[in-house]
Amino acid sequence: MNILIEYRWAFLIGAEIVFWTTAISFFLLRYGFRLHKASFIVGIVLLLNELFILTLGVVDYYETGKFSQFQIIIVIILLYAVFYGKKDLRKLDLRMQRFVAKWRGEALPMMEEPIELTGWAHTKQELLHWAIHLILFASTHIVFFFLYGLVSLEHISSWDADVFLNETANRVSKVWRIVLGVDTLITLSYVIFPKKQKKEVLPR
């Protein structure tokens, strides 16, 4: 743990390098060399890499006992991976298929581009994701309540105060409160400023 804490920034940067290297390897193996089983293994490595990033954040908070810029960056990375990473990887997947087909001199695959929601439709989707997140948050905290009980109300003086009679539950709760808070701000931004449709650039 001391090594993880001392070199946490190096580990985080290394994990991001591993992510992109692994993602590129996934597409090369899948479409360039048509090794679908190998690409499946690479997909598992991607998942383990994200779990390692989460572990870095948990260990950092466990050792320092407070929130830091490092943990906030990890929260942002994981939020992106959960809510936007899959969609962006899908777009990259389509582009790689076409690139490899063009490179091999094969017919370009006929694939429909994923429909990108805008306006109120996109806002409703974000609200649905946020509602699911809130339900998971509330359900977990209800379980913590029945398992460990709550501290006295006079001891809850701030948003990051301990609320349960269990140290591990409090740590999970504090980190999750930050994640939910960031997710709430992002969702509210789409309620106030709905996502606009990109203007198509007409050829001259």
Structure confidence by residue, pLDDT tens digits, 48-94: 888 888 888 888 877 777 767 787 788 778 777 776 677 777 777 77
**Mean pLDDT along residues 96-108:** 74
Alpha carbon 113 to its chain centroid, in Å, reads 23
Residue 39 or residue 103, greater confidence: 103
Q: Which residues contact 94 (CB under 8 A, 6 or more apart)?
A: 111, 113, 114
What's the rounded Cα separation, in Å, for the pair 181 and 102?
Answer: 45
Highest mean pLDDT among 11-20, 85-94, 164-173, 192-201: 11-20
The confidence score (pLDDT) of residue 149 equals 87
Least confident range from 24-28, 67-71, 120-124: namely 67-71
Q: Which residues contact 52 (CB under 8 A, 6 or more apart)?
A: 11, 15
Name the β-bridge partners of 164: 150
The confidence score (pLDDT) of residue 189 equals 92
What's the rounded Cα separation, in Å, for the pair 197 and 118?
Answer: 6
The confidence score (pLDDT) of residue 184 equals 92
Cα–Cα nearest to 128, from 136, 89, 179, 181? 136
Highest mean pLDDT among 15-29, 32-46, 154-168, 174-188: 174-188
Say if residue 8's pLDDT is above 60: yes
Say if residue 113's pLDDT is above 60: no
What's the rounded Cα separation, in Å, for the pair 180 and 174?
Answer: 10
What's the rounded Cα separation, in Å, for the pair 163 and 151?
Answer: 5
Q: Which residues contact 119 (CB under 8 A, 6 or more apart)?
A: 194, 195, 196, 197
The confidence score (pLDDT) of residue 173 equals 86
Say if residue 203's pLDDT is above 50: no
Counting residues of the chain whose pLDDT is more than 70, the rounded percentage is 87
Say if residue 124's pLDDT is above 80: yes
Say if residue 188's pLDDT is above 90: yes
In this structure, what are the phi and psi dihedrals at residue 200, rounded to the nearest 5 degrees? -80, 135
